[in-house]
Amino acid sequence: MALLLSIETSTHHFSCALHQDEKLIGYEESSVQQSTASQLAVIIDRLFTISQTDKKNLSAVAVAAGPGSYTGLRIGTATAKGICYALNIPLISVNTLYLLAYQYTKQFPNLENNSLLCPMLDARRMEVYCMLLDKQLQIVQPTEAKVIDGESFSDLLEEGRVVYFFGDGADKCRAVITRPSARFVADIHPRASDLGELALRKLVAGETENLQTFEPFYLKDFLVKKPKLVS
């Protein structure tokens, strides 16, 4: 039996989950901004206490690989790798946008045959991280950072293909992408409970990461804002 800890820190919502094989035995999430660093370890310890499981029995740790918040991804990955090193267990990663699409198909299974899914994560201003997938979760366009304007996805939308936009990056695109076949769905954010389901499949298939070389999928370089000089 596999005991799997999943850590999702790609956005200001962060969450952790414990799965015993396919059964969810513990889950907790927080939407308090800038609390990941101080609360992540606390939540993980609480999960083990409440579920009455021992961390030493872990089979693997799964982490959402990004893209997303640079700071959140760094904290989540460092925590996951630390546990893996301490217990000598494998690390599993899942693309955060793929995770969002997986969650969407679970919540809305009856999609049009030619519809497309476009999970989006906020990358500030009018830029988003996004990918396109079909209803079978086959990737149509890989992960990219994209500046959104009125012509974004117009080639698909003008064909009449329904495209579902969701994730925290989709909200700011609603007023810009206005073609009739564009559908926007609110309140979908990545969850560790669903991450664990995908990670279990990868664990069974032997798809694990190299602990020494693994880095989150930042997609863009982290830009440090310089403080303004006061004259």
Decide: 155 and 172 in contact? Cβ < 8 Å: no
Q: Does domain 3-95+191-204 have CATH number 3.30.420.40?
A: yes
CA distance 24 to 3: 10
The answer on pLDDT for 222 being more than 70 is no
Residue 76: left (phi > 0), alpha (psi -120 to 50), or beta?
A: alpha
Q: What is the pLDDT of residue 221?
A: 56
The encoded tokens of residue 142 equal 């890989």
CA distance 40 to 213: 23
pTM assigned to the model: 0.93
pLDDT digits (tens, 9 = 90+) for 157-176: 988 889 999 999 999 999 99
pLDDT digits (tens, 9 = 90+) for 98-138: 999 999 999 999 999 899 999 999 998 899 999 999 999 99
CA distance 231 to 228: 9
Which residue shows structure tokens 């893996």? 84
The answer on pLDDT for 225 being more than 50 is no
pLDDT-derived band at 223, boundaries 50, 70, 90: very low
Q: What is the pLDDT of residue 59?
A: 98
Q: Is the four-CA dihedral 188, 155, 162, 180 of positive or negative sign? A: positive
Q: What is the pLDDT of residue 160?
A: 83
Q: What is the mean pLDDT of the chain?
A: 92
CA distance 182 to 199: 31
Q: In what order do the strands lie in the sheet with 139-147?
A: 139-147, 127-134, 116-122, 163-166, 182-185
- The third-level CATH classification (topology) of the domain covering 97-185 is Nucleotidyltransferase; domain 5 (3.30.420)
Q: What is the pLDDT of residue 63?
A: 98
Three-class DSSP category at 65: strand
Stretch(es) of the chain classified as CATH 3.30.420.40: 3-95+191-204
CA distance 157 to 180: 8
